[in-house]
Structure 1
Amino acid sequence: MAPGPIATPIWSKVGLPEDALGQVAAQVTSRLLPGSFGAPGSIADAALFLASDQAANIYGQELVVDGGYTIG
């Protein structure tokens, strides 16, 4: 799985000053189709799907859960 920008407490721990952190977050957010960082539950839901019987025939694939970041 390839998670994209997710709203977790780690963003406040990357070592950037608050103003720089805000600028980076704004740049990233501008590329996201929903207009905001994803929720941790989005990644959990994707992981649960991959662990379910519904994904029984999925092999060797990368599931990108990034709010459209990589297509923007």
Structure 2
Amino acid sequence: MAGRARSTGHATAREAGKIAERAGAKRLALTHISSRYPGDARGHQREAAGVFDGECFVAEDGQTVEIPFPDDE
């Protein structure tokens, strides 16, 4: 899967989790999941959560995700 993702300019869920962890993110929304992987997307969530300590979820089509601005201090 990683080779296919790279060849098409995409990241795997695990790679996304690693990037989010290195960035110090608190939440990771997995989006743009290929239709090649039909059905339950919880496997992608588990894959990312294995390397990311924050909140991790697979966004649904049309879902709105609020991204708050950091407190101005």
Q: Which protein has the larger Cα radius of gyration, Structure 1 or Structure 2?
A: 1
- TM-score, normalising length: structure 2: 0.31
Question: What TM-score does the superposition give when structure 1 sets the normalisation length?
Answer: 0.31
Structure holding more helix per residue: 1
Which has a greater percent of strand?
Answer: 2
Higher relative contact order (CA 8 A, sep 6+): 1
